[in-house]
Chains A and B, each alone.
Chain A
Amino acid sequence: MTDTNSQNPIQTDAVIIGAGPVGLFSVFELGLNDIKCHLVDILDKPGGQCAELYPEKPIYDIPAVPVCTGTELTERLLEQIKPFHPVFHFGQMAESLQKRPEGGWRLTTDLGTVIDAKLVIIAAGGGSFMPKRPPIKGIEEYEGKSVFYAVRKMDQFRGKNIVIAGGGDSALDWALNLQPIAKRVTLVHRRDEFRAAPDSVLKMRALVAEGAMDLKIGNFTTLHGTDGHVKSITVVDDAKHATELPCEAILAFYGLTMKLGPVANFGIHLHENLIPVNTSDFETSEPTVFAIGDINSYPGKMKLILSGFHEAALMAKKAFTYIHPDRRYRFQYTTSSSDLQGKLGVDKSAA
């Protein structure tokens, strides 16, 4: 669904920025109120922090679920919102938000997806997950020229002397994939142990043993070069011994970190990188733009998943008044309402 542009935008009721637990649950609450949704997330999968930071770690404070992992919580939410057929746009960042002259909002992603929606729900948690940038002076001017945090085209590294920094699966996988085409690959890691698939580690060690690639243990501390083109880097080991490694390109894989990103430029009032909201409907300083979950702030706020769920329910009630101004809001329980059960596709004969 990414082949849209401003001539042919996606039209929907609500666009949700962030497909973490709170963004996912808001699909449910909005769905019960007959509001259709599209979701945008920079990760390539749903779950937000639950998927990226702690997929295997236990969560004990979801009401009525004594324990579940981040992955399980995400899977259960996906099952719960299935009846509402949300449309996901993964692997892209919500880049700009513009007010449309005819009303509503236009959200554009960094991949060029354009979504026109009457409502915007910001459920962006701690912000967008982006690669960690090594705190090396002047690294910005090298980024995209000779310092990279992802491989878009393997061919750009063909015949080059490259340094790959990091000790996880990304670092090992790219070291192994690029070793046959690069002039030389040097893997730089702070310790002689790797948190990567054991098979990748064995393959890497074999290549090092046969002299087909290099492994350097130490911290990558300094970049040398001009106009964004790196000539060498300095690696310092535990004994404070510095080594200069000549190279033409660097791939750094230290994991992801959350940054607020373009949400800061959406024209919504921010306070200390959070979005102030009122607690009756979680609307921001801009009517029809809501903020729920970890990204909002209000007196007494607690950054808990369950708080975000509550916020989603109140947000959806206000959202209903914007999307269905001609209808009278009806407060119903899923237990007793055949109307809601119909929306959920519940088979009443089985109940």
Chain B
Amino acid sequence: MTMKVILTDMEGKTHDLLATEEWTVMEIIREGGIPILAQCGGSCACATCHVYVDPSWKSKLPEPNEEEIGMLDGAFDVTADSRLSCQMIFTKELDGLKVKLAAGSI
């Protein structure tokens, strides 16, 4: 059974991306062929993989840690739905997760 992440890009277009358990959402986006800066390569050090999580999915995700919250200071237009996709680990409970790319991540 294949699982997916549904990504909305900067133009508002949606993409069904093949999702693999234990991968980060950033990796799922990058390997799905969607340009995402993710300059530090996933070490929570650059804030260029900023996404917005669809509010309906927020309760299913673990809370961001202090380091991620702090690193979001380097992103723009941060909201209560903001996350760094390199810090979100995909699990089967997240099949169908909806995220939207933020400005500054492409």
Contacts and interface: CB of A to CB of B under 8 A. Distances in A.
Given A57-B43, A126-B39, A257-B37, A132 B77 contact: no
B43 A190 contact: no
B65 interface: no
Interface in A38-61: 49, 53-54, 57
Interface stretch (B1-9, B19-27, B45-53): B45-53
Interface stretch (B56-64, B68-76, B87-95): B68-76
Given A168-B73, A257-B46, A257-B48, A135 B40 contact: no
Given A135-B103, A255-B47, A221 B77 contact: yes
Interface string A46-86: 00010001100100000000000000000000000000000
B76 A238 contact: no
A219 B76 contact: yes
**Contact size range, A:** 20 to 34
Given A54-B45, A57-B45, A254 B77 contact: no
B38 to A, nearest CB: 10
Nearest to A258: B39
B97 to A, nearest CB: 23
Contact of B76 (A53, A57, A135): A135
A196 to B, nearest CB: 10
**Contact size range, B:** 20 to 34
B73 to A, nearest CB: 5
Interface of A: 49, 53-54, 57, 126, 132, 134-135, 166-168, 189-191, 193, 195, 219, 221, 238, 254-255, 257-258, 303
A135 B48 CA distance: 13
Question: In this complex, which of B39, B41, B73, B79 has the most chain A Cβ atoms within 10 angstroms of its Cβ?
Answer: B73
Nearest to A196: B73
Given A135-B103, A257-B39, A258-B39, A53 B73 contact: no
A49 B45 CA distance: 10
Contacts of A258: 39
A219 B77 contact: yes
18 contacts: A49-B39, A53-B46, A57-B43, A135-B76, A189-B73, A190-B73, A191-B69, A191-B73, A219-B77, A219-B78, A221-B77, A254-B73, A254-B74, A255-B74, A257-B39, A257-B46, A257-B48, A258-B39
Contacts of A254: 73-76
Contacts of A193: 70
B74 A238 contact: no
Given A54-B40, A257-B37, A135 B77 contact: yes
Interface of A is mostly: loop
Given A53-B40, A191-B69, 15 more contacts: A53-B39, A54-B43, A132-B74, A135-B76, A135-B103, A135-B104, A167-B73, A189-B73, A190-B72, A195-B73, A219-B77, A238-B80, A255-B46, A257-B39, A303-B41
Given A135-B77, A166-B73, A190-B78, A53 B45 contact: yes
A132 B45 contact: no
A273 to B, nearest CB: 10
A153 B102 CA distance: 33
A132 B105 CA distance: 11
Contacts of A166: 73
A134 B41 CA distance: 22
A164 B57 CA distance: 34
Contacts of A135: 76-77, 103-104
Contacts of B103: 135
A193 B73 CA distance: 10
Contacts of B77: 135, 219, 221
A168 B74 CA distance: 9
A178 to B, nearest CB: 20
Nearest to A238: B80
A257 B104 CA distance: 9
Question: In this complex, which of A166, A189, A219, A221 has the most chain B Cβ atoms within 10 angstroms of its Cβ?
Answer: A219
A270 to B, nearest CB: 16
A103 to B, nearest CB: 37
B9 to A, nearest CB: 15
